[in-house]
Structure 1
Amino acid sequence: MNKLKHLVIILFVIVQGFILKAQENTNTRIPNYEIPYEFPEVENIKEVLNRIRIYYEASSPQSIVDSKTGNKITNFKTFNTNAEPSKGFSSEYSYTHGVVLSAFDYIENVTGDKAFFANNIKFFDYIVKNLPYFQKNSDKIKKEKIGSWGRILKFHALDDCGSMGASLIKTYLKTKNEEYLQLINQTADFISNEQFRLPNGTLARNRPQYESIWADDLYMSVPFLANMGKLTGDTKYYDDAVKQILQIADRLYIPEKELFDHGWNVTSGDYDPRFYWGRANGWTLMTMAETLSILPEHYKGRDKILHLYRAMVRSLANLQDGTGFWHNLLDKNDTYTETSCTAMFTFAIAKGINEGWISHVYGPVALTGWNATKSRVLENGAVDGTCEGTTFAHDNTYYYNRGKSIYATHGYGPVLYAGAEMIKLLQNDRFEILKAKDNAVNSTYHFLLKSEWPIKK
């Protein structure tokens, strides 16, 4: 009896061992995704976008204050030399804020939710109401910048006006508020006639090196030029937009990488060192996406822009990290994964699929890019993990060690844009999306173009 009992125990242990081994083998075969490999839901995306909007709206009272006391100014009959706009993101006349306002305009177009675009009207009305107070008293202002409005009285660089000017045109096209035209025309005059250019007309800077071209400047100029062409019907703006993309690409686009170098300067010439910074490439791809959507289909040079766009997307799909993010230096996987460029690429790739510029097979790249992006949106709506503002540098150590935080506002607009475009992609009835199965050993997402398949009976 004891022998039988002992045998039963041994058999039980052996069987349990096989069961545990089988479970272990099954569990190790199922992928363990760092970022959930899940299918986004439209309502969830809208919730993320609204969280960001609420965070943005709470960032500033949009008032004029005394910089010494912090008190709100209510008497505008005499000029207060300490007067400046209130601090906070939603008060800034800045290129990062311009991206947010353009995204708000786009979200209303996609979803019909007027709560987003209401911020455009509120902000630009705040500007045109209070700007004359500073303009009339400009001789009394000793500073180059007026608080969070920067160099609004006299633009010095594309950063001062281009992105914000593009969002102002989009707002004007909906509101037809003629008080906006003065700033629109001021921006057009600066970019077309005052901003420093190389002899061939390429927009450039004399910083940090003599006669430098920055990839960032594509977004700081071209969307405004394209939208100015749309507003006025004057094709000189389209021509300049196309010229800037193609001539900057001549210097910065590296065909063997299918990426843009962050910058170039005349002193280094053909042997300028190359750094493939994520956000700089994000600016270029977003610029091309917006330009392609505005230019007439057969406009001269559009086909070359489309080729650059497609080639970049191909390269970026290969460089995407296994988490769905892209790295701060795109070709260096030991740099951190960065939010703003991930959102920019997600938007531009999703838009390309929606517009038919690239194949639908890139759908999972956009989908996993969005899953990564939304993981950086905190509960209070702040966007984390965005690289701080970055100069055109010449050493890896600098790019590797850039800070990142919720206060780097470069990420907010791109995340809003990415969410809006993902909503369009998920609602695009040209595609059937085969979803990945939960806890499956081998399952992924497939975007199928319905028109390619026989009609199901």
Structure 2
Amino acid sequence: MYDLPRTTFGGMQHITYADQNHNQLWDDTLMMTVMPLAKIGKLLNRPHYVEEAKRQFLLHIQYLYDPQTGLFFHGWQFDDSASGGVGHNFARARWARGNSWMTIAIPDFIELLDLPPNDGLRMYLVSVLQAQCQTLRALQTPEGTWRTLLDVSEAEGSYQEASATAGFAYGLLKAVRKRYIAKDYTNVAFQAVKAVLQRINQDGELMDVSFGTNMGRDLKHYLDIERTSMPYGQAMAIMALVEFIRVFV
């Protein structure tokens, strides 16, 4: 809360084991840092933690949301030599797993804070989620998956990626259950769950999960990431399947 390096305008800088990522915003941060901050604020009765989490959601959406597509760019770099929030979105990558963090985090955040239907932040977050889901439906593959770069074709090297597919399945199912999005998204999520199940091997591992992905300076960076099984892929598959059971069983 207090010691984490901040970007211009107070964004939470996304630090990885390999780099400080100076003055960078990543969509990963909302899931990995901001959601835990909000939970700690609720648990320990520290409302200023919750308010900071709200601010971080707004700030990250401000710089990462692409209004032309309804999707999110992976990151934003503030320009240290300029003022007024000047910077760039790196490769302008609409990366699937990063987008799925948003599809997960928005419904979870609204539920965690128990924001009422007439709350301004809730209405804003729901509108952002609805725009994203509309595009996700259009970009879902016939197999029920999504590609690692959502708007890049398989012919161009954008492979089908399982962790994002699981994350989208969870977020869509929960958003339908909570009535944040229309009920007709249920089938989109159902197709995604089937695709996830088809990629779980005999040892219970979710395969076709892209390896840890740092910020890419070009789109090729994302296409070159290898697929394997990863702990976060397991977690996202479990989340999707638990939500599926909650809705359908």
TM (norm. structure 2) is 0.89
Structure 2, unmatched stretches of 5+, are 80-85
Q: Distance in 2 between matches of 1:330 and 1:375?
A: 20
The letter for the 2-side match of 1:277 is W
The aligned counterpart of 1:425 is: 247
Contact 2:13/2:25 (CA < 8 Å) preserved in 1?
Answer: yes
Contact 1:354/1:424 (CA < 8 Å) preserved in 2?
Answer: no
Q: Distance in 1 between matches of 2:101 and 2:193?
A: 17
| Residue 288 (structure 1) aligned with residue 106 (structure 2) | yes
The letter for the 2-side match of 1:413 is A
Q: Distance in 2 between matches of 1:216 and 1:242?
A: 16
Displacement of 1:372 in angstroms is 0.2
Q: Distance in 2 between matches of 1:272 and 1:322?
A: 30
> Which digits, 9 at most, give the CA deviation of each residue in 1:27-80, with x for residues without a partner?
xxxxxxxxxxxxxxxxxxxxxxxxxxxxxxxxxxxxxxxxxxxxxxxxxxxxxx
| Residue 212 (structure 1) aligned with residue 24 (structure 2) | yes
Contact 1:329/1:399 (CA < 8 Å) preserved in 2?
Answer: yes
The letter for the 2-side match of 1:374 is L
Q: Distance in 1 between matches of 2:219 and 2:8?
A: 31
| Residue 414 (structure 1) aligned with residue 236 (structure 2) | yes
| Residue 258 (structure 1) aligned with residue 70 (structure 2) | yes
Contact 1:222/1:291 (CA < 8 Å) preserved in 2?
Answer: no
The letter for the 1-side match of 2:248 is L
The letter for the 2-side match of 1:290 is D
Which of 188, 192, 195 pairs up with 1:372? 195
- CA 1:214–1:271 in 2, change beyond 3 Å: closer, same or farther? closer
The letter for the 1-side match of 2:72 is F
> Which digits, 9 at most, give the CA deviation of each residue in 1:206-258, with x for residues without a partner?
75754111111111112212212321233212211111111011111001110
- What secondary structure sits across from 1:265 in the alignment? strand
Q: Which runs of 4+ in 1 moved over 3 A?
A: 205-210, 270-273
Which of 290, 295, 316 pairs up with 2:136? 316
| Residue 386 (structure 1) aligned with residue 204 (structure 2) | no
Q: Distance in 2 between matches of 1:201 and 1:396?
A: 28
The aligned counterpart of 2:83 is: none
Displacement of 1:270 in angstroms is 4.6
- CA 1:199–1:329 in 2, change beyond 3 Å: closer, same or farther? closer
| Residue 200 (structure 1) aligned with residue 23 (structure 2) | no
The letter for the 1-side match of 2:70 is E
- What secondary structure sits across from 2:55 in the alignment? helix
> Which digits, 9 at most, give the CA deviation of each residue in 1:298-353, with x for residues without a partner?
35522211211121111111111110000000111211100100000000000011
Which deviates the most, 194-203 or 321-330? Answer: 194-203
Q: Distance in 1 between matches of 2:227 and 2:139?
A: 21
- What secondary structure sits across from 2:242 in the alignment? helix
Q: Distance in 1 between matches of 2:50 and 2:109?
A: 9
| Residue 244 (structure 1) aligned with residue 56 (structure 2) | yes
TM (norm. structure 1) is 0.49
Q: Alignment length, in residue pairs? A: 235
The aligned counterpart of 1:124 is: none
The aligned counterpart of 1:326 is: 146
Contact 1:208/1:392 (CA < 8 Å) preserved in 2?
Answer: no
Q: Percent identity?
A: 27
Q: Distance in 2 between matches of 1:271 and 1:360?
A: 33
Displacement of 1:398 in angstroms is 1.3
Structure 1, unmatched stretches of 5+, are 1-191, 428-457
- What secondary structure sits across from 1:213 in the alignment? strand
Q: Distance in 2 between matches of 1:388 and 1:205?
A: 18
Alignment of 1:85-124 (within 5 A): none
- What secondary structure sits across from 2:25 in the alignment? strand
> Which digits, 9 at most, give the CA deviation of each residue in 1:241-290, with x for residues without a partner?
11111101111100111011001111371574300111111112211121
Q: Distance in 2 between matches of 1:200 and 1:208?
A: 17
